[in-house]
Structure 1
Amino acid sequence: VITFVGIFIGWLHLFCGLSGAKCQMAWVFILRILEMARNHPLTDDTDKRQLPKDTRTTIKMLSISPDLEKNICCPSCFSLYKPSDAPWTCTFKKSSRARDCSEELFELRTIWFLLKATTEDEILKWSDELNSTDNPKIYDIQQSEAWNDITWPEDSLTKPKPLNLVFSLFIDWFNPRGNKKCGAQQSLGVLAFNCINLPPSLRNLLQNTCIAGITPGPNAPDMTTISHVLKEHVDDLLLLEEGISVVTSRYPQGQLVRMKLLPLLGDMVGMHKVAGFASHSATFYCSWCWGKSTDSNRMQIAKLRTKEEVLDTSARSNAANSLHEKETILSKTGV
């Protein structure tokens, strides 16, 4: 029994991240429980059934769950207001003749970033600057071949002229309990869209970032199950590629807005998972070429992959009738 208790205390310290002092307290509690169990053993199954099997049941039984009182706090003077009757601005006065604090208690957040007066102006201004420059140096994605290869439907008869937007998708996973080797290892994922029509100084600001989804923990999806998370976004992008009428700051009556997805951002693990490529430890580990892991020490780029090859391999994998067939295609192609 003592050995088992020691293993349990070690688990609390190494895997749950409890400090040495808290583990010592747990050790004292367990020894006390063992002493009481020896003096007052459970007599029948009825006593055993009364033991709680869940942490929430234990907290409820002991009546130690805290009752939280929700209030709205002024960020300037820290005055508290009930949510049901809170004013828009703080009414606290330091004296009867002093002015109100007048700090805003609520923050308006624009649901659609094109409603902001400066967004479309910044997009058009940055596009004009890139198109008018004589500098042959490429310093923005809008000057790349991939950007220039994007095709949009003819819009000569549409008034006002459609606004064509290109977005990036960022995806990454993190441990909500902190980056530590010991303790609980969990994984939450974040999917975020950013409009890369904006100038670089604005496109990644928090107010211009759309948190499109959070994958639940404690485990991250794999290369197959990530498709379930992405399906809704893919369906939306297919609809937005055709265009929808959106109320913007420039056009309150509505403007045709079309969107496409271009770059996928993140670390290698996340990007390969979303794009459907094998992991960095696979035989065909590279998403750009046919290089093998056994030849990586040569530090040379192998034959480049083509878009047609990747799409064809992906279609064959989706059409495969068995998991073994899918795994065979993955091991031989890295897709």
Structure 2
Amino acid sequence: MSSWNPSHDVRTAMKHLSIDPVIVRSVCCPKCFASYALDDIPEFCTWRVRRRCRPCGEPLTATRSTRSQGPITVPRRLYSVQSFRSWLEWFLSRPDIEDLLEQSWAHQPSDDSMRSTWDSPAWRSLGNFSTTRGNLMFSLFYDSFNPLHNKIAGKVVSCGVLTLRCMNLPFDVSRRPENTFFIALTPLPYGPNVVTITALLDPIMDQVLPFWIAQLIQTYKFPLGRSIRAGIVPVIADILASKKALGYGSHACEQFCSYCLCTLDQLERLDLENWTIRTSDAVRAAAENWTAAQTVKKREELFKSSGVRGSALHRLHYRDHVRHTIIGVMHNWMEGILQHHCRVKWGLGSKALPGSGDDGASDSEEPTLATRSDPMDVDRQTHSASSDEGDVDTTPNTAWHPKGRRIPVAPTFDAADLQFIRARLARIVAPTWFERPPANLGVKSHGKLKAIAWMNLFAYCLPLILVELWGQRAESRARDSELLANFEQLVAATDIVCSYSTSNAAADAYTEHYIAYRRSLRELWPDSDSVPNHHYAMHNGDQLKFWGPLMLLSELPFESDIGILQDISTNFHYEDMDYTMLRQISRKARLTAEIETNPDFNRTDSSGASLASILLDERSTTTSHLHASATTSKKAARSPQKELTAVHYTTILEYLQTRGEHFRHCEEAGLTHTDPVLPPTGQSLSSLRQYGRNFNTRRTHEGNSLVVVRRPLGTQLRGFIEDVCCIDFDGGKRTFLILEPLEPVPDSLNPYLHFKGLACGVAYDRSMAARIVVEPSQLISHLVALRCPGGTFGIPEATIITRSLNQGRVPE
């Protein structure tokens, strides 16, 4: 790396690093996506749907003018697929990967709870495959995106991304782009439909399927090669993309569900125990019959009766084509159930119907809560259209016209209610990493809401607000208590389905809460029908029992990859955009991995620039966070030693003594004692990093200082971090947090005791004289909070309502 100046010639530097992926390109029909070898290109596409059908006939080549060669004949479209073997060899050649993979092979599942996919029955559903060393289980993600960012007027462009992630890596490691295999991007400008997608999936299956039989692969620890097997098990996508890839019918089909045999006229069914669940064998048989049919009419008849088409993924014979399909919690729940409840049931962010009253918005600023349209919310779509580009279900007699209205006759919130909610949203105290919902909720100026913002709104912000609005009105309204009970069931179900840990008991509780929520929907909004998304969410309980925490299999990390792809610079030539994006994101991933393992990249020159910053052109967001907790000791090493205050010193000493650590006061140093002395000096820090989050002192950032901690005997304490002290002991440094604890209000004054599903705590908003000492390992999470003036809930003093942001990440 010292033979050239990378700041002058970045391309040469990248070439010397040998990080270019092996990408196999083939000619692709622009219409049906059939593939042809580059050395044998027919003039027209010869692909037929069936033997008796006419060939596609689409021209495969075009004439392009060049300066040097004049007119030349070139393929109109090329399909690029990255070599799975080549990527696997590179992946396993990295020095830390095999040690990380070993954790999954040696993992012992927990009996009572599931904190990882490795604890789930799904992980063991392939027998001893997941526990045999050398066997790798991958998840397949598929989704479509617009590489133009929707910024070019009139351009509707679709590109599909197909990625594989190794599930044998720990979750926080597997989700990074450098550990993601970007196997293919579908050709532009239009995506495949439900039939032609098979032509794009077949080359991927051709590469992956042979690895079900052991292959000899060179690895870092086994340079002569070791036996490696690999298989694709879960398919992760939004529901429509999943249906397209797996061959299921869209939400407009009579047999619309991928998991059971309920039909569209049974959307309101809640007797889950009586549903007939699909089986993998039946799905495979239906797909084989559909594929074998010789006429389009016969295929339509078979599809109408089963709701299943053939798919290239059915070639993976070891997959369970029902249970190994994931219901995406991001699209189904966050952007589905929660968004639907807000926009359709509550009517928030939509024009009020005539006579329904003022919605609190001016004529110049029409209220809206715009977001990516929910394809499962068929109330606002035509009966035959799918949101995935090119996916139009033309099967006869599959149309479904919803009977319910999109918006209730009267919006739930009037102008005063909206003003109340917005004022309190603006006052919420939260950590810096928390994705805040807009304070001007319901007004279009805030733009689209992200999936996380929908979850934060319902799970963390509105529970702090709606109890006061609906439960403590001066004038009693019977409907308010019903709305609050309905909301409580929704929040309780959200807590479980969006948690990073689960259990069979939690899954049963989810189903109970969700069914209660849907029952109350019928009573509150009898004229607003359920949509398919409501039905799909009924299966989340079984998914939690089978797969464990669904957040570990959500679409959220993959959506971040799509953002990276959209930021890649291209020349906007459709015939090359997919190849450019695939190559560039693969190169950056390999470069990032190289930087993490090679310290030479981070050495700076005289100008302060490092090779890593030059090659990445910015600070990479994909660098490792495995050693994030080390930042505290580094800060302490740079901070000057100073005398601890008498109060802090005494509090820390009492904490250590109550733990059975027999330290003595420094003033007793001259006496005869065998017990060690607690040093009177240490470093005072403004922050520390734990669990990948910054925890600050209250004087630095109040939102980052409000925490819940674990105390002896399983109790919890909530309060503000007053100070962070790092003290040198003979055995090394120890960090102590000095907390200002919050005093809970008496149960007789706590209104949230009647709404335990909201999981909120109410405390007096004042400092207590006593201070509590904890160590970083006792931290659970940050809190969100809302301050209330005296008189709220009939409590004379000012109070603060808090809710934990743990989300099941840390055992409580």
Q: TM-score, normalised by structure 2?
A: 0.27
Residue 191 of structure 1: how far off its partner (Å): 0.5
- Contact preservation (8 Å) 1:116, 1:249: yes
Residue 105 to residue 73, structure 1, CA distance change in 2 (3 Å): farther
Is the counterpart of residue 137 in structure 1 residue 113 in structure 2?
yes
After TM superposition, list the pairs within 5 Å mapping 1:1-335 onto structure 2: 74=6, 79-81=7-9, 86=12, 88=13, 109=19, 111=87, 112-128=90-106, 130-131=107-108, 134-151=110-127, 163-179=134-150, 183-301=154-272, 302-335=275-308
Residue 81 of structure 1: how far off its partner (Å): 3.3
Q: Deviations over 1:281-318 (max 9, x none)?
A: 21111100011122213345431101111111111101
Distance 2:207 2:252 in 1: 33
**Structure 2 unpaired stretches of 5+:** 22-86, 309-812
Secondary structure of the residue that 2:201 maps to in structure 1? helix
- Contact preservation (8 Å) 2:162, 2:184: yes
Aligned residues: 234
- Contact preservation (8 Å) 1:247, 1:253: yes
Q: Deviations over 1:152-190 (max 9, x none)?
A: 68x9xxxxx850111010010011222479631111001
- Contact preservation (8 Å) 1:170, 1:265: yes
Distance 2:189 2:301 in 1: 29
Distance 1:173 1:73 in 2: 39
Distance 1:73 1:277 in 2: 54
**Structure 1 unpaired stretches of 5+:** 1-71, 89-103, 156-160
Secondary structure of the residue that 1:248 maps to in structure 2? coil
Secondary structure of the residue that 1:198 maps to in structure 2? coil
Residue 293 to residue 247, structure 1, CA distance change in 2 (3 Å): same
Residue 127 of structure 1: how far off its partner (Å): 3.6
Q: Which runs of 4+ in 1 moved over 6 A?
A: none
Residue 277 to residue 115, structure 1, CA distance change in 2 (3 Å): same
Residue 151 to residue 234, structure 1, CA distance change in 2 (3 Å): farther
Distance 2:247 2:293 in 1: 15
Residue 151 of structure 1: how far off its partner (Å): 4.0
Residue 105 of structure 1: how far off its partner (Å): 9.1
Distance 2:18 2:127 in 1: 36
Distance 1:187 1:240 in 2: 31
- Contact preservation (8 Å) 2:104, 2:118: no
Distance 1:162 1:298 in 2: 45
Counterpart AA for 2:169: L
Distance 2:231 2:162 in 1: 16
Distance 1:230 1:187 in 2: 17
Residue 270 to residue 181, structure 1, CA distance change in 2 (3 Å): farther
Counterpart AA for 1:80: H
Identity %: 27
Distance 2:168 2:294 in 1: 42
Moved more, 303-312 or 180-189: 180-189
Counterpart AA for 1:321: Q
Counterpart AA for 1:149: S
Residue 218 to residue 300, structure 1, CA distance change in 2 (3 Å): farther
Residue 282 to residue 73, structure 1, CA distance change in 2 (3 Å): farther
Secondary structure of the residue that 2:267 maps to in structure 1? helix
- Contact preservation (8 Å) 1:171, 1:189: yes
Distance 2:115 2:18 in 1: 35
Distance 1:244 1:277 in 2: 32
Counterpart AA for 2:175: N
Counterpart AA for 1:117: P
Counterpart AA for 1:308: D
Residue 140 of structure 1: how far off its partner (Å): 2.1
Counterpart AA for 1:113: F
Residue 125 to residue 230, structure 1, CA distance change in 2 (3 Å): same
Residue 162 to residue 140, structure 1, CA distance change in 2 (3 Å): closer
Secondary structure of the residue that 1:237 maps to in structure 2? helix
Distance 2:257 2:270 in 1: 13
Q: Deviations over 1:199-246 (max 9, x none)?
A: 111112111111111101221111211111111221222210002110
- Contact preservation (8 Å) 1:191, 1:214: yes
- Contact preservation (8 Å) 1:73, 1:105: no
Distance 1:279 1:208 in 2: 32
